Chains A and B, each alone.
Chain A
Amino acid sequence: MSKVLKNKEVNLNCSYLPPELFAAAGFNSGRLWPEGIGNKGQGLLPYDFCPYSRAFLSMVAGSQDLSLFANSCDAMRRVYDALAEEYAYLLEVPRVTTQPGYFQYQLEKLLTYLGIDPENRQFRESLRENIKLYNYRRKLLKRLLENLIGGAGPSFSLLIEGVKYYYQQQTVKIAGLVSDTRLKQDEEGYVSNHSDQRIPRVIISSSCLLDGRLVKLVEESGLRIVGLDSCLGERSFNFQIELKEDNPLESLARGYLNKPACPRTMEPKRRVAEVKRLITSRDADGLIYFMPKFCDQAGYDFKFLKENARENNFPLLLVEGEYQAGESGQLNTRITAFRESLERIK
């Protein structure tokens, strides 16, 4: 049954929600990245609760925009519960890659809710075009990522900026970041700065990074970031949708289910293999795992990664926190100590 919406704004909470679908349906979607927890709606959720969920609720409570939730975790379901009487929709996203057909069905249901006929020729044409457009944006971001890994650009924070532009459909700004980093590589000698082999290379992994402050802290501690395994990082864009001309919705469902796995999925072997591949391909010396407080998905994801790291004698640092964790002095000390241990190993 379709819903009469007050406006055409859609807030997304998860990297499994395809922005191209909303663009094709004539909606303006955006991923919400709160910078902290506001006051609105706070009495509804406990304090010992996922900070991203609490921050998300504080941003959307009372809004007439549609908030779209992936059935990702208990915490997000609770935010959905809190908003259910307002403008919220919960999309079932399978936790395994073997169910693209069901995901496609759920996307069709969502479209019907939005008042769009999934079979409509014009919509399908628009979806095909938007998939191509988003594939292009993803390619641009991948290029930005490669530039940053290669040492171009002042900070990996640019990648976070790029991801935000991606969700704001700001192609030109992403392209700008790509060319800026290329220029800096050529003119300002960042390559030579970063090519110092003594600087340990690390990957930051997380269920949800919350904000970009940790990235800055890690860099300020003298480590070089070569990967950002988070939805505020590579997991949002480091894939391409293989477009089947006759069925773009199926392409979308398949593509998103097979994108880099996140801790919510129930394929830990695939997830661990993907993180290992990142480590090997980026020649990383260590992994920093950021666990948002009270995040069960991260709690178990970390356990799998920790066991694997232990088996392979690979350095792994666990840091926990809420918003602004990157400004904590204690964390600074721990990351510095981690850098020293990585330097000793190198």
Chain B
Amino acid sequence: MDRKFRWISKGLHNNFLYNLGKLGVNLRMKGYMKEALLYFLRETQAAFTGRRPVIWCSTFIPSELVYAVGGVPFMPEVAAGFAAAVGVANEVLLEAEGDWLNADLCSIHRCGTGLVKKELVPKPDLIISSSHLCDGAKKYLQYISYQFDCPYYLLETPYQLEDAGWLAEQIRSLTKELAKGGVDFGPVFSLSNRAYRYHQRVNQLRKAVPATFSGEHAMNLVPMEFMSFGSKGGLRFYRELAEELEGRVKGGEGVIPEERYRLLWLHLKPYYPQQIFSSLREMGAVIAFEEYSQLYWELLDPEKPYLSLARKMINHFGWGPLQRQLERIYKLIYDYQIDGVIGFSQWGCRQSSGRMGMIKDSLKKKGIPFLNLDGDLVDTRNYREGQLLTRLQAFVELIDEQKGCGVC
């Protein structure tokens, strides 16, 4: 391991640095960003310094399950995004590829494997993954469990909601195994449901025109969606965010000076520095909403904890019948007064990019402009800026034409 990664690894295990970071955040920041950063500092510290059992999960495992059994969730897919944001993802990817991980596989998962090799992750006490959404996640997490010689649990997730009982039973037996004395889901579900209501409020406020919160920024905060439900930090974050957006909506303050086009973003965005969003801003386009911020699940019922969690998993917009995802997209288009839709096709992602052609087909029939943007969430080698910006420009021109001729 080279010196840079050795230092990063040391830093990640250093309690003093976390405490210093928390002090700095408390003194200098406020609002929802303060809560988000404090949440990540606390959870990362707990994971790297062994304060609570570290439970690695694929991103679509409900974090409530981890909090209920007293663990700290660590999601290597989220860590891959951070690696891209701080500019080390490519080196990490090369490490994984050198170890026989094919470059056609999802870069997020390759990056997660590379992070293990670079020792930039906390040691897992156990790993849980679900079989839903993508094949790669369960496979690479199982592989990593062999690397760490730790227990691995698979939650087989059925495609149809009517089979939720099978998944509920798996969650029940997993919980029984992890917490021999039993688990009280009540407090965790209460935190999750309260955060859910604030999140609902946030989503409601985001319907305002002009948009008061950019989708680009919301996608930076998407790890809160994955990890924080069921924690106090998650509740504080969504409460602060709702309060802040109330103020912005009252003030009629938009995120771009002159909002001309409102866009819906499907899937996630590249986490390394790029020009996509600044170019859109310059053209007067705002990401008014993004697929990952929709509340696709129902409030959790402490009387039926296993079934509630199972339903949350199966209800994910990227899982289950395509028609359900399409209906949700149309609802978002209507609710957020969307002029056009951009679908980001992550290289190596068979679940999301695999559906883009069908979504495009459906939107086209209804005359809704759609742009399928090929790229990579973490691997800059698959980022072609010139080509991408040209396509964005053409797309915005198409929307402009449609708006002008009154089709939309």
Contacts and interface: CB of A to CB of B under 8 A. Distances in A.
Interface of A: 43-46, 48-50, 71, 73-75, 77-78, 81-82, 84-85, 90, 92, 94-96, 99, 102, 264, 266, 268, 291, 293-294, 296-297, 299-300, 302-304, 306-307, 320
B323 interface: yes
Interface of B: 100-102, 104-106, 131, 134-136, 138-140, 142-143, 146, 154, 156, 158-160, 163, 166, 321-323, 345, 347-348, 350-351, 353-358, 361
Contacts of B134: 74, 296
Contact of B350 (A82, A85, A294): A294
A304 B134 CA distance: 19
B104 A293 contact: yes
Contacts of A307: 100
Contacts of B143: 268, 300, 303-304
Contacts of B100: 302-303, 306-307
Contacts of A293: 104
Contact of A74 (B163, B347, B351, B356): B351
A300 B347 contact: no
A229 B16 CA distance: 54
14 contacts: A50-B350, A71-B158, A73-B135, A74-B134, A74-B354, A82-B322, A84-B321, A85-B323, A294-B104, A296-B105, A296-B135, A297-B139, A299-B136, A306-B100
Given A48-B104, A92-B163, A306-B100, A81 B156 contact: no
Contacts of A296: 105-106, 134-136, 139, 348, 350
A92 B136 CA distance: 18
A40 to B, nearest CB: 13
Nearest to A94: B156
A266 B159 contact: no
A84 B322 contact: yes
Nearest to B140: A300
Contacts of B322: 81-82, 84
A286 to B, nearest CB: 17
A299 B104 contact: yes
Contacts of A43: 357, 361
B356 A46 contact: yes
Nearest to A50: B350
A191 B13 CA distance: 64
Given A43-B357, A78-B358, A293-B104, 16 more contacts: A46-B357, A48-B348, A49-B354, A74-B135, A74-B351, A77-B351, A95-B154, A95-B156, A96-B156, A266-B138, A268-B142, A291-B102, A294-B350, A296-B135, A299-B102, A302-B102
A187 to B, nearest CB: 46
Contacts of A264: 135
Contacts of B136: 296, 299-300
Contacts of B159: 71, 77, 90, 92
Contacts of B101: 299, 303
Q: Which 7 A-B pairs have the closest CB atoms?
A: A74-B350, A300-B139, A78-B354, A81-B322, A296-B135, A44-B357, A299-B102
A99 B131 CA distance: 15
Contacts of B156: 92, 94-96, 99
A256 to B, nearest CB: 16
Contacts of B351: 74, 77-78
Given A84-B322, A300-B143, A73 B358 contact: no
B102 A81 contact: no
Contacts of A268: 142-143, 146
Contacts of B347: 48
A74 B134 CA distance: 6
B154 A49 contact: no
A77 B358 CA distance: 13
Contacts of A75: 350, 354
A268 B101 CA distance: 16
Given A75-B350, A90-B159, A92-B163, A45 B357 contact: yes
Contact of B361 (A44, A95, A302, A320): A44
Nearest to B353: A46
Contacts of A82: 322, 358
B102 A46 contact: no
A81 B104 contact: no
Nearest to A295: B104
Contact of A297 (B104, B135, B163): B135
A73 B105 CA distance: 14
Nearest to A82: B358
B129 to A, nearest CB: 9
- Tell which of B131, B348, B357, B361 has the most Cβ of chain A within 10 Å: B357
Nearest to A73: B135
A93 B142 CA distance: 19
A230 B194 CA distance: 50
B134 to A, nearest CB: 6
Contacts of B154: 95-96, 266
A81 to B, nearest CB: 4
A92 B314 CA distance: 13
A61 to B, nearest CB: 12
Nearest to A303: B100
B282 to A, nearest CB: 29
Contacts of B321: 81, 84
A78 B142 contact: no
A302 B101 CA distance: 9
A306 B143 CA distance: 13
A282 to B, nearest CB: 24
Nearest to B135: A296
Contacts of B361: 43-44
A107 to B, nearest CB: 13
B133 to A, nearest CB: 8
Contacts of B356: 46
Contacts of B355: 78, 81
A206 B9 CA distance: 38
A37 to B, nearest CB: 14
B177 to A, nearest CB: 14
B358 A266 contact: no
